[in-house]
Amino acid sequence: MTEVPEHLLKRSQDRRAALGLGGGGDGGGGGDAAPAAAAPADEPAPGSAVAPAAPSAAAKPAAATPAEVAPPEPPPPYVQAALTRKKIPFWAMPVLAFLPVWAIIYVGGLSPADTGEAGPLDQGAEIYAAQCASCHGGGGGGGVGRAFTDGELLATFPDISEMLEFVWVGSNGIGPAGTPYGDPDRAGGAHTTLSYNGNPMPAFQDVLTPEELLNVVRYEREVLGGEEVPAEEIGDADQRFWPDGAPIVDDAGQLVTPEGEALFDEEGFLTIEPNYG
């Protein structure tokens, strides 16, 4: 057997030591025997059935730990409200656009506001209850005085002017007992003064104003007597006009003719002829 030179053996030992395979000998000057060649640890001996060893745990790469992600901050309350608020449906836009037009139409169709003041017929009803109902009945059915219902009043006074005169001056102002008044062609004949129970009709020219006189006469005719007044003879404020559209009461509160002259003379009698149609 050939002896390996010492310097070669030393070099071989250092090389194995550097590769981690372990060194042979004592690290000194020389050994008597050459180190036995060792088979690699991961190679099985020839003819063996040993399975290769699993890689060691140290050889596995460590799993990366995910960094904790901070949860997102919630949006401000006003943003949440805007996101959750119900949206206006598309069909509502034309409806909203039409609202101003509808408001104008609605306001235009309203009745005039109630000012709290009594209208002409309301005032007439109050005067009638205080001054006339005791004789003619609360509903105009008659009593001490004549009835206004069932067409009686309108048959006697088809023209409002003559009724205004009769109430203004009373039956004694018209004339002594038996003096006719009203429509001379009345069915059944004209009425005459003091012909109903012998009771006179009192005069109201010292009790009522001219405008109050018109209001109570209108109440007796239109409400109790059932007069159907043409629409053109009633104003927006429920005032009464003559058939030609002229007012019966002027701005000074006086009764006037269609021509604007005083309806009564100084004694309270008509200045125009009644129109019996």
Render pLDDT for 140-172 as a digit per residue (tens, 0 to 9): 999 999 999 999 999 999 999 999 999 999 999
Render pLDDT for 265-274 as a digit per residue (tens, 0 to 9): 999 999 999 9
Q: 132 lies in a domain?
A: yes
Residue 35 has pLDDT above 80, yes or no: no
Q: 134 lies in a domain?
A: yes
Q: 240 lies in a domain?
A: no
The single-letter code of the amino acid at 242 is W
Note the pLDDT of residue 107: 66
Residue 212 has pLDDT above 70, yes or no: yes
Note the pLDDT of residue 21: 64
Q: 165 lies in a domain?
A: yes
Residue 50 has pLDDT above 70, yes or no: no
Q: Is 213 helix (H, G, I), strand (E, B) or coil?
A: helix
What's the structural domain count of the chain?
A: 1
pLDDT tier, 93 (very low <50, low <70, confident <90, very high otherwise):
confident
The values of phi and psi at residue 253, to 5°, are: 80, 20
> Do 212 and 127 form a contact (C-beta atoms < 8 A)?
yes
| Domain span at 168 | 120-233
Q: 11 lies in a domain?
A: no
The single-letter code of the amino acid at 108 is G
Render pLDDT for 98-127 as a digit per residue (tens, 0 to 9): 788 877 887 666 655 555 677 999 999 999
Cβ within 8 Å of residue 195, ≥6 positions away: 177, 178
Q: 143 lies in a domain?
A: yes
> Do 225 and 154 form a contact (C-beta atoms < 8 A)?
yes
| CATH number, domain with residue 157 | 1.10.760.10
pLDDT-wise least confident of 57-61, 122-126, 180-184, 195-199:
57-61
**DSSP state at residue 59:** G
Note the pLDDT of residue 1: 52
Note the pLDDT of residue 147: 95
Q: 210 lies in a domain?
A: yes
Note the pLDDT of residue 31: 44
Tell me the torsion sign for CA atoms 18, 24, 25, 31: negative
The HSE-up count of residue 231 (CA atoms within 13 Å, CB side) is 0
Which residue is associated with the tokens 């449906």?
A: 89
Render pLDDT for 215-245 as a digit per residue (tens, 0 to 9): 999 999 999 999 999 999 999 999 999 999 9
- If one compares 203 and 78, the residue with the highest pLDDT of the two is 203
Note the pLDDT of residue 9: 73
Q: 15 lies in a domain?
A: no
Residue 82 has pLDDT above 80, yes or no: no
Q: Which of 15-24, 31-40, 102-111, 187-196 has the highest mean pLDDT?
A: 187-196
> Do 219 and 153 form a contact (C-beta atoms < 8 A)?
no
Q: What's this model's pTM, rounded to 2 decimal places?
A: 0.60
Cβ within 8 Å of residue 194, ≥6 positions away: 171, 177, 178, 200
